[in-house]
Structure 1
Amino acid sequence: MLGRLAEEHATGVLTRERGVLYLVEGQVVHAESPATPGLDVLLTSRGALGSEGWWEAVSQAGPEHRVGRFLVDSGQLAAGALELCHLGALYDAAFFTLGTSSGPARFRYGVAHWIGPVRPVSVDAVERETLRRRALLHRIWPDADSDTAELVRTGRAVDAVLPPRQRTVLDQVDGVRTAADISLVLGRPGFHTLVDVRRLAAAGIVTTRARTVEVRAPETAVPAASPVSTALVSTASAQAARAAQASAEPDVALLRRLRDALEAL
């Protein structure tokens, strides 16, 4: 659908399960997703713009779809700073919007975003960047469950040289927050948080809450044993012990190799 809209030079908004893309004349001019902070958060949380200045621009220039132009013309933000931050927010939100979705995609013609024109990006460029980011995440850690699930610490010791960015993300892992929640708390692009989360998962420091529940052994009631069954169990246990003792060395060696391989990851 996105390729067809580009060929049509369509103007409007493409809505998917995890976000929206705004197009003007077949080019992507803005993107938003609940999985990553919006342009307003990225600008204000980093001190590039005060929250009062942002809301003034929205109220003054929003109805005319020229909020970006207002921020530059009023001297609150340099044109280059706006373009750089806007492109980052656009690619970030587009990555989540174009991800795997179970819902249908819809396009509404003629709809414009109030931010107005900043720097249009071709559909091809958006698709290439989305694929590049997917490949990067897969190389870091191929399991995508940590992208959306509640995150928990595994209890593994944290290396003292853990990079500050990863440590900042790790400090927000509380068993309830997802990667998107952490991005909103930190005011950081969602994709950057996914990179840090997957690196923490690859290091065995972070996993998902669902995975910790799966590995727990179910608690079941143990029926009282009869003398005959006790004798049978004792005999079987003795045989198992002898068998285990006979093959102890190969098993230990195998476990050590597995451990070394996992730590090497």
Structure 2
Amino acid sequence: MTAPTARNVPALLQGLRAEGFTGTVRVSGTPGGSIHLRNGLVGAIETPGAPTATSTLLTSGRIGDEDWLAACAAEPDADRLGGHLVAEGLIGAAELEVVCTAAVFDAAFAMALSPRGSWELGDREPVLLAEPGVEPRRLTEEASRRVALLSRLWGPPGELTRVRPAPVAGAGTRGSDGWLAPRHRDVLDNVNGRRTPRDIAFALGRGLYAVMLDLIRMEALGLVQWGSRTTADGRPSTAPRVPQDEPTNAVRTTAVRPPEAAPLPKRRPGGASPAQDVGQKKKGG
């Protein structure tokens, strides 16, 4: 049987792909989650670490609550719910595919940020699916790429998920004069010194990875500042802000790649911000 012999989750998923497995892989850990496979392809991932496709559609208002409840009542098998939503004209087929596939990749990335424990195989659980599904190898490769990129731009991504960014004084006024991209404006509106990047992602119905990239860029622009960071046990973090080796057991993603523009400056622990390093240059640069 594949489950007890696989060395890690990516190897398990590769074995299940070869078997054409349909069912659920429940992975323990923090955040852990459930990986839903159809004929060996990953159709959905549910984890406390990232918004699902359902959460994205409802939180963003793309589909109203009443329409959603009516659709669920008309099609109780969530595996077929996507087709029903399209047939009812509530969303286009292409848009639904993008939302569901992006959610799979984002959830895989979120699960890759923390060590995972054991897993168990279960029967099929109906869920809103990305059709036809994602190859497990693509998830593994993309999640590791995202982890490596964030490590270069900021430091350990798992640590970044625990910071509580706060707005810089006057950032709200500066961000409202039209030069800030709408998506950055939305993130800034949710930065209050108490919410983590994960909290902001759920509040906006956006991917965790995208929110983390936006926060890094906004910090470089002088709009947000990092709060005190703590480890999982609540102690102040002493982890160095240096690129880390890619995890060998990461489950990765392929959504829209972040812009490959000029690399953002890194922060140094206890050091000045990028703007201060160049003699208090204009922070909006």
TM-score by length of 1: 0.70
For 1:65-214, list aligned pairs within 5 A. 65-101=79-115, 103-115=116-128, 118-144=131-157, 145-153=159-167, 162-202=180-220, 205-210=224-229
1:190 Cα deviation (Å)?
Answer: 1.7
- For residues 72 and 27 of structure 1, do their structure 2 counterparts lie closer, same or farther at Cα, with a shift above 3 Å needed? same
Mapped contact 1:146–1:207 kept (Cα < 8 A): no
Of 78-87 and 134-143, more deviation after overlay is shown by: 134-143
Structure 1 CA distance, aligned partners of 2:124 and 2:134?
17
Cα deviation code 1:182-221 (max 9, x no counterpart): 112222222111111223345563213337x969xxxxxx
Mapped contact 1:154–1:207 kept (Cα < 8 A): no
Cα deviation code 1:73-111 (max 9, x no counterpart): 33322222211211111111121123322x413132322
For 1:16-55, list aligned pairs within 5 A. 16=27, 17=29, 18=31, 19-55=33-69
Gaps of 5+ in 2: 1-11, 238-275
Larger RCO (alpha carbons 8 Å, 6+ apart): 2
Structure 1 CA distance, aligned partners of 2:90 and 2:189?
33
Alpha-carbon RMSD: 3.2
Structure 1 CA distance, aligned partners of 2:278 and 2:50?
36
Structure 2 CA distance, aligned partners of 1:202 and 1:9?
46
Q: Which has the higher helix share?
A: 1
Structure 2 CA distance, aligned partners of 1:134 and 1:56?
39
Q: State percent identity of aligned pairs.
A: 28
Structure 1 CA distance, aligned partners of 2:101 and 2:25?
18
Structure 2 CA distance, aligned partners of 1:14 and 1:22?
6
- For residues 8 and 261 of structure 1, do their structure 2 counterparts lie closer, same or farther at Cα, with a shift above 3 Å needed? farther
**Larger-Rg structure:** 1
Partner of 1:56: 70
For 1:8, which of 12, 15, 19 is the aligned residue?
19
- For residues 106 and 10 of structure 1, do their structure 2 counterparts lie closer, same or farther at Cα, with a shift above 3 Å needed? same
**What amino acid is aligned across from residue 120 of structure 1 in structure 2?**
G
- For residues 15 and 148 of structure 1, do their structure 2 counterparts lie closer, same or farther at Cα, with a shift above 3 Å needed? farther
Paired positions, count: 221
Gaps of 5+ in 1: 216-257
TM-score by length of 2: 0.65
